[in-house]
Amino acid sequence: MSDPGKMKLDCLKAARRCFKSTKALVTECRNSFEIWFALHDFKDRDNAGSAHNAYDPIFKSTMDAHFLVLVINLFILGDEDSKRRQNMSLYFLGRKLAGAGLISHVESEKWEATLKKANFHHERIKLIRDKYYAHRDKNYTWDKAMHEANIHVQVLDGIIAIYYDYVSAAAKCLKEKCASHADVATTIKESVADIKSQLGELLPYGNSSIWKSRALRLQKIETNMTV
């Protein structure tokens, strides 16, 4: 016969583990979105031409990397598929909170209803994740993925906001600390603003001893691999 007290304790432990993971994921989502959006916005400005062209590989690679992080993390957070045994999703978190007796089953259903508001958008995220990042379809391009997903900046921003509110509510139940959504967004925006003035210092690094020794190492590898 199962022990209800032990089951509650197990659920509480699982909820705490899941909270830490989901909090980290949703914070990464906000950070990656703000960085991606800031670089995208800078790229599109009329006066950004020369600076953007000079740093084009950095801009493009950074934007691509942060969008990848955003898509993968949003997919994990909103994944409801029990077959994947996802123990870092917000659905899992809500169910474990209910199992621990920290929210009622009625409240749990309300929480899930909130997540389902973002569910239609989650399917769009899943499309990009499945067809472009996780299982690259033959001749499938970035432009095609974005066209099929039909997802916009405002939608991405909104999904992150819904997920962050969910994590904040969980933090209150678990009596854990969680910075406000606005604070996280403001911090990363200020960081992005601060680094703009330092972008001009990136190119001279190519002349530093570290970069020169790295270039020699790469040259050796290339030489050794030459057939």
- Distance between CA atoms of residues 1 and 3, nearest Å: 7
As a whole number of angstroms, the distance between CA 222 and CA 151 comes to 41
Q: What is the pLDDT of residue 226?
A: 43
- HEC profile for the chain? CCCHHHHHHHHHHHHHHHHHHHHHHHHHHHHHHHHHHHHHHHHHCHHHHHHHHHCHHHHHHHHHHHHHHHHHHHHHHHCCCHHHCCCCCHHHHHHHHHHCCCCCHHHHHHHHHHHHHCHHHHHHHHHHHHHHHHCCCCCCCHHHHHHHHCCCHHHHHHHHHHHHHHHHHHHHHHCCCCCCHHHHHHHHHHHHHHHHCCHHHCHHHHHCHHHHHHHHHHHHHHHHHCC
How far apart are alpha carbons 96 and 16 in whole angstroms? 9
| Mean pLDDT for all residues in the chain | 79
Q: What is the pTM of this model?
A: 0.79
pLDDT tens for 142-165 read 778 778 888 888 888 888 888 988
In the prediction, which pLDDT does 44 show? 57
> Which residue has better confidence, 40 or 62?
62
Q: What is the pLDDT of residue 181?
A: 72
21 pLDDT more than 90: yes
Q: Which of 32, 64, 33, 60 has its CA nearest to residue 145?
A: 64
**pLDDT for 227:** 42
Domain residue limits, the chain: 4-225
